[in-house]
Amino acid sequence: MRKIAAYWRDRYWKDRGLAFKLIWINLVLIAVPLLLSSLLSGIGYSKSTQRNVGTYQADAVREFSANLDIYMNELALLTTLPYQTPDLLDYLERRDAEQSTLYEERKLLEDFMRRIRVNGRVDTIGITLQAEKVRSYVEPPDSPGRFTEGYDPDLSAFLSQASSGLAVFVRPHAVLSDNGSTYEVFSAVRVIRSLESGEPLAILKIDVPANDLNERIANLSGSGERSVAVLDGKGTPIYENGNFPDSTGNLGAYRGEGTVTLGSGRSAVLMTYVTSPVTGWTVLQAVPLSVLLKDAETVNRQMLLVGLVCLAASIFVSVLYSLRITRPLSVLRRSMKRVEKGEFGLSIPVESEDEIGHLSRTFNLMVSRLGSLTYRLYETEIREKNAEIASLQSQINPHFLYNTLGSISMYAELEGNREVVSMTNHLSALLRYSMGGGRSEVTIREEIEHIRGYLAIQSIRYEERLRYKIEARPGLLEQPIIRLTLQPVVENAIVHGLERGSGEVAIGIAISAENGQVFIAVEDNGPGMDDEALRRQNAKMEEGLLPDGPGGHGLVNVHRRLALKYGRGFGVRLERSASGGIRANIMLPRAAEEESEEGREGHG
């Protein structure tokens, strides 16, 4: 995330003008709150509308379920008429069976069937009375009543369901009349029991046209945008109109009362379900959320339109305001570019008293002062040129010295004096190296070659009293080092070992690397120093204090140059050597690994 932000800043923000940045900031500060408020308001209004419509829908489904229960209660009451007809109960229990005739029995059953048809507000089209002890009687739809000896197994299937004595409602099904016509009906079934013994006497089934039920349910659908379904107690559809995007795949799982949202996106629907305590049927109504939120979407579009108009107005004001601020700054920037080209006589108008006006006045003052300073700078440059010419002339003397040393070496060669030839050649090389050629940093290899020449001159001077040895780890000779770092350290070892001591002195130079650092150790076997003297010398080098007198400046200068160049932790540190002399440790940062492989080098 941080890399993305850095890329966006460098690519699209860093090089943009101030006007662009002001416009962008204003747009963010205005557009983001405006869009967020519009979005949150729209979401809140949509949810509120959904809750209100869901409540209204639940009330409508409950009202429909209550009306359906009233209708079904009317039908259930018709199934209790046998208990209000003592003659029918006597007939079903076969009382006075020998005294009644077939005509009387038929008349009794027809009267009972007529009572069912004329009682209540339910339009019945078929009645079946299947008795256990006497002959059964049936009135099929659009057919006269008749006795039947047949046993209807479909009615026996409801015996266990109606064992509680309550009416059982049968989902719409087809029945066949005697004239061959088929009718779609739904039924109410009740088991008629003896009032004395409680044993089953008959099963009464009353058939009602299925259209009556379908029309009542269809009224709940209203327009074609709502989907309605009625399920029986087993979850089998009794009536279904429309589509239900049920995520569970089983609408029968919804029992009781509640409201759920099914599906997602544009196909989501709000479904309300209520289970009737009378029939055990579940009424479900689903309305697409797109229909429910149609008004909310209209309001949201209007709010969005108002927001866009406000955003356009804010953009216009932001652009106008930003250009008003940045126009004087653009004039100031162009004027500064002209000043860069050397035009010091210009002046910009001051149009306001704010910060920009103050900046314009300061710019005019600065340009006027620059004009006066230009002449002084020109005079200074002339003086520097004259000084540079004088410096170039002073370089004639070193060249004269090189030529003089060359002449001495030539005459010594003619006389056969090899020592003088060697010393003059080494001295000439040391002089050229000391002059530097404009370089402040060299490689360790170049510094070692310079030390070899210096030690060669000292070996001629002290003859057999001076021995030296140089060792280097492979690949370290190409590491950078400040020019003339080793000579003051080696010179200090010679001064303390030979000039202030007696006998022979051995000087060893070892170059190694460890933990990302390069270590150069210069060790001698001279008389050395006591612990207090070592501590004072290290403290002087660390503090950069030059000692009194003509000597002792070399080590301090070398340490300060290294510390200033490479940082704290690098430089020179003195300690006792194993041979009793002084060991000077020079610490440098290690550069990248070199490809070349250098073996150990030695000279003694």
Structure tokens at 435: 């002059």
Residue 520 has pLDDT above 90, yes or no: yes
For 102, the token pair is 């077939």
H helix intervals, 127-221? 153-156, 210-221
| Closest by Cα among 158, 169, 182 to 239 | 169
What are the tens digits of pLDDT across the range 298-334? 777 777 787 778 778 877 877 777 777 777 777 777 8
Work out the average pLDDT over 472-479: 85
Q: What is the pLDDT of residue 201?
A: 86
Say what the pLDDT of residue 19 is.
65
Strands in 571-576's sheet, in edge-to-edge order, are 466-472, 505-514, 517-524, 582-589, 571-576
Average pLDDT over residues 39-51: 69
* Residues pairing with 191 in the sheet: 203
Written as one string, the DSSP assignment of 577-599 is: -TTSSEEEEEEEE--SPPS----
Residues 571 and 539: beta-carbon distance below 8 Å: no
**pLDDT tens digit sequence for 417-471:** 777 777 777 777 776 766 665 577 889 998 898 888 888 888 877 777 888 899 9
Angstrom distance (rounded) from CA 586 to CA 571: 6
Q: Which H helix or E strand runs over 371? A: helix 355-394
pLDDT score for 521: 93
pLDDT digits (tens, 9 = 90+) for 222-275: 655 677 888 877 777 877 777 666 644 577 778 888 888 777 766 777 888 888
* Beta strands, E only, 226-303: 227-231, 237-241, 257-262, 269-275, 282-288
Given a cut of 50, is residue 13 above it in pLDDT?
A: no
Mean pLDDT of 119-123: 73
The rounded distance, in Å, linking the Cα atoms of 255 and 237 is 14
Q: What pLDDT, on the 0 to 100 scale, is given for residue 337? A: 81
pLDDT of residue 164: 66
Question: Residues with Cβ < 8 Å from 83, sequence gap 6 or more?
Answer: 89, 192, 195
Residue 478 exposed, middle or buried by CB count within 10 Å (0-12, 13-18, 19+): middle
Percent of the chain with pLDDT over 90: 5
Q: For residue 269, with 0-12 CB atoms within 10 Å meaning exposed, 13-18 middle and 19 or more buried, which class applies?
A: buried
Confidence at 37, pLDDT banded by 50, 70, 90: confident
pLDDT at 296: 64
Mean pLDDT, range 160-188, rounded to an integer: 80
444 forms beta bridges with none
Quick one: which of 238, 232, 309, 308 has its CA closest to 275? 232
Pairing mode, strands 269-275 and 505-514: unpaired
Q: Which helix (H) or strand (E) holds 514?
A: strand 505-514
Q: 57 with 283: CB under 8 angstroms? A: no
Whole-structure pTM value? 0.44
What confidence tens digit (pLDDT) does each residue in 559-587 have?
Answer: 888 888 888 889 999 998 888 888 999 99
